[in-house]
Amino acid sequence: MILITSLMGFALLNFEAAVEKVIPFEKNATTIAEMLLSLRQGIFPSDLQTLEELDINLCDDPTIADHLSCRQLPLEERTTYYSMIESQIMAYTQTSSEELSLLRREVSFLLVEKQLKVAASSKDLSISQAINAIDELDQTINLFTERLNEWYGLHFPELEKLVGDNVQYCTMIAQIGWRDDFKDDRISAAAKTSMGVQISGKDMHIIQCLAKQVVDLGKIRESYTSYIEEGVSAVAPNMTALVGPLITARLIALAGGLKNLSKKPASTMQMLGAEKALFRHLKTGAKPPKHGIIFQHPLVHNAKYWQRGKIARTMAAELSIAARIDYFSGEMMAQGLIDKLEARVNEIRKKNQYPPRKKNKGRGRKL
């Protein structure tokens, strides 16, 4: 027999193309969308096991064909058969044409929404990899730049102090090289009085090779950053609106994905990324850490030291709500969270204007 998949159910045709049997679906768009999604993902739904007992030789769906080890019906034939039997399936399942087009639309929307969620849920893992790769790129860039400080420093040790940024420093070495070739006034002044020695053209070339590598690594870093910024605002729009793309990406990476993150309580959210300090606290009795990666956020970072813990706790609370919305619905509703966070932070600032006055009785006299 030939199996044809329709939205109303499976139709089984004999080789004269007459309908022998219809296995109707429950008339429920969600159920149908879930089954279609599963088939698209190559997973044979367990509630289709009845199909295994039938004598099916040809089947239009690739996943079912694979599962039943039967041949797949080419699209051309599938559409021909389907247009011949559509009205019979409709009659059998008592579906009017209005109902059928409504069902098509409903199932399609549900299917797309489910697919988008799947696409997003694997995207978060890719983002986690990218943010970890950025950390490794930074380490490598630092390592090579240190090497270049010493190496290129033989020729022009003063340059390093004049340029703040590692990649920029290496770009200058790669593109200009000789200290006498710098056009920038400040740098060429330093070059004239440089303590460095002359080196050979071959030496310079070898140094520039390494500098070019750092420049390239810098470019990769840039493209990873924009990949993360773009991706994370699709995967976790509410968290991103609350604390920005990079902190969001780091939290997702630390938790091992958005799903895991959405299950964590606010107290864990606050500590994510503080593991090292936490272990130090447990081992040596050093001060316990008050906050993890969210410390990087200016609201926490720039707060007065005695307000920090409280602000971090509030932020973690809002973030854990945002993570749940992002994971379960993906709907954008961050404005409410942002407003609440701001109100709470203002309250904390007002209530705790002055540093606590404990322990340091002697402090005033020392000055």
Partner 1 sequence: MKEKFSNVYYDDIGFLTKNLVPGIRVYGEKLVTYNEEEYRAWNPNRSKLASALMLGLTIIPFTPSSKVLYLGSATGTTVSHISDIVSEGMIYCVEFSPRSMRDFIGNAKMRNNLVPILADAKQPIEYAPLLETVDVIYQDIAQVEQAEIVLRNLPFLKKGGHIMLCIKARSIDVTKDPNEMFKKEIETLSQAVDIVEIIDIGQYEKDHSFVVGIKR
Counting other chains too, the contacts that 137-143 makes at CB distance below 8 Å and 24 or more residues apart are 137/217, 137/220, 137/221, 137/224, 138/221, 140/217, 141/166, 141/167, 141/214, 141/217, 141/218, 141/221, 142/166
Which of 259, 225, 232 shows the shortest CA–CA distance to 133?
225
Q: Does 107 bind partner 1 (CB under 8 A)?
A: yes
Which of 7, 82, 23 shows the shortest CA–CA distance to 73?
82
Q: By rule CB under 8 A, what string of x and - marks binding of each residue 218-257 to partner 1?
A: ----------------x-----------------------
Q: Which of residues 27-46 bind partner 1 (CB under 8 A)?
A: 36, 40
Provide the minimum distance between the beta carbon of 235 and partner 1 in the complex, in angstroms, as a whole number.
Answer: 11
Q: Does 59 bind partner 1 (CB under 8 A)?
A: no
**What is the rounded distance in angstroms from the CA atom of residue 32 to the CA atom of residue 27?**
8
Q: Does 109 bind partner 1 (CB under 8 A)?
A: yes
Q: How many helices (DSSP H) and strands (DSSP E) are in the chain?
A: 17, 5
54 exposure class (CB count in 10 Å sphere: 0-12, 13-18, 19+): middle
Residue number with CB closer to partner 1 (112 or 220): 112
Select the residue interacting with partner 1 from 108, 149, 213, 260 (CB under 8 A). 108
Tokens 């769906």 sit on residue: 61
Residue number with CB closer to partner 1 (5 or 145): 5
Q: Does 306 bind partner 1 (CB under 8 A)?
A: no
Q: Does 101 bind partner 1 (CB under 8 A)?
A: yes
Which of 218, 202, 43 shows the shortest CA–CA distance to 141?
218
Select the residue interacting with partner 1 from 31, 88, 115, 225 (CB under 8 A). 115
Q: Does 326 bind partner 1 (CB under 8 A)?
A: no
Select the residue interacting with partner 1 from 2, 12, 22, 111 (CB under 8 A). 111
Select the residue interacting with partner 1 from 79, 94, 139, 175 (CB under 8 A). 79
Provide the minimum distance between the beta carbon of 129 and partner 1 in the complex, in angstroms, as a whole number.
Answer: 18
Judge contact between 123 and 251, C-beta under 8 A.
no
Provide the minimum distance between the beta carbon of 53 and partner 1 in the complex, in angstroms, as a whole number.
Answer: 22
Residue number with CB closer to partner 1 (6 or 240): 6
Residue number with CB closer to partner 1 (24 or 157): 24
- Give the distance from CA 192 to its chain's centroid: 49
The end-to-end CA distance of the chain, in Å, is: 96
DSSP H helices, 201-265, are: 201-235, 237-243, 245-255, 258-263
**What is the rounded distance in angstroms from the CA atom of residue 212 to the CA atom of residue 148?**
11
Provide the minimum distance between the beta carbon of 112 and partner 1 in the complex, in angstroms, as a whole number.
Answer: 5
Stretch that binds partner 1, among 44-52, 97-105, 194-202, 248-256 (CB under 8 A): 97-105
Stretch that binds partner 1, among 75-83, 126-134, 154-162, 175-183 (CB under 8 A): 75-83
**What is the rounded distance in angstroms from the CA atom of residue 365 to the CA atom of residue 7?**
84
Task: Dig out the tokens for 66 from the structure.
Answer: 């694979």
- Give the distance from CA 247 to its chain's centroid: 11
Q: Does 122 bind partner 1 (CB under 8 A)?
A: no
Residue number with CB closer to partner 1 (77 or 158): 77
Stretch that binds partner 1, among 57-65, 144-152, 198-206, 347-355 (CB under 8 A): 57-65
Residue number with CB closer to partner 1 (95 or 166): 95
| Total residues binding partner 1 (CB under 8 A) | 31
Which of 8, 149, 171 shows the shortest CA–CA distance to 86?
8
**What is the rounded distance in angstroms from the CA atom of residue 25 to the CA atom of residue 89?**
11
Provide the minimum distance between the beta carbon of 11 and partner 1 in the complex, in angstroms, as a whole number.
Answer: 11
Contact residues: partner 1, CB under 8 A: 5-7, 36, 40, 60-62, 72, 75-76, 78-80, 82-83, 86, 101, 104-105, 107-109, 111-113, 115-116, 119-120, 234
